[in-house]
Amino acid sequence: MRARDSVIGVVAMTFVFGVAVATSVPAASLATVGDFGSVQFDAEGASAQVFAGSGDGDLPAVARDGYVIHTPTPTPTPKAVSSQGGYGGAQCQAGADASPEATEFSWVYPDGFRMSDGFGPRAEGFHKGVDMLNGPGVPVHAIAAGTVIAASGNGGTGGVYLAIAHKVGGQALCSMYMHFQDGSLMVGVGDAVTAGQVIGLTGRTGNATTEHTHFELYGADGARFDPMPFMTEHAG
């Protein structure tokens, strides 16, 4: 009787153990390597990452959404820039005459910005440009190839600013950028710039309550106009 009870106990324990294994261990862990063949991971550039299996096993491919890594644009070393040059219509025309024809265009902030005050009347008076908000120290880019015609390292209401003359369709066009960080200008009067070149860093110098770039466009007559339609058409 005792022997029979012992045998029954062993059989019962074996059954319980077998059920536990079958319900808790993944089936794939009990398979051999030959059941799945080889496994390969591919990651090419910004394309989707793909898991693929090969061999006798009939496994589906699994794909994940791709992604793009943006590498920050290296920021050039600032240079000592004194207040010089002029940003009137005559200086705009002279600078445009010395500049190559602009064929490429860039936004002041290629990676985006938040629009604040637009062009036109406001409580403080007529706003001659647009205010583009961004974080402190974010690089500011030249909108097109041209020649720097005015710079200020410590200027009044505009704070630290730059003006650049361009030639677009044979006509003079000047862009002006205000409120850079102190000591962040990368170029000075007479320097040639290219489209998208970093010219300084976002700040709040002068008459500014937060970090942003006040951006203007004007021609040889010196009259400012709304820069947004031009930028949308040329920079996309």
The whole-number pLDDT of residue 154 equals 79
Please state which CATH class domain 84-235 belongs to. Answer: mainly beta
The whole-number pLDDT of residue 120 equals 86
Does the pTM of the predicted model rise above 0.85?
no
Token digits for 104? Answer: 């490429």
Closest CA to 159 of 132, 179, 136: 179
Rounded Cα distance, 223 and 216, in Å: 10
The whole-number pLDDT of residue 13 equals 52
The whole-number pLDDT of residue 75 equals 60
**Residue 138: partners with Cβ closer than 8 Å, 6 or more residues away:** 109, 201, 202, 211
SS (H, E, C) 122-153: ECCEEECCEEEECCCCCEEECCCCEEEEEEEC
Helix (H) / strand (E) element for 23: namely helix 2-24
Rounded Cα distance, 187 and 170, in Å: 24
The whole-number pLDDT of residue 96 equals 98
Report pLDDT digits (tens) over 9-50: 544 454 444 444 444 444 444 444 344 344 343 434 443 333
> Residue holding tokens 């002279």?
94
The whole-number pLDDT of residue 195 equals 98
The CA-CA-CA angle for residues 81, 139, 75, to 5°, reads 75
- What residue spans define the domains of the chain? 29-69, 84-235
Q: Which parts of the chain sit beneath pLDDT 50?
A: 1-8, 10-12, 14-72
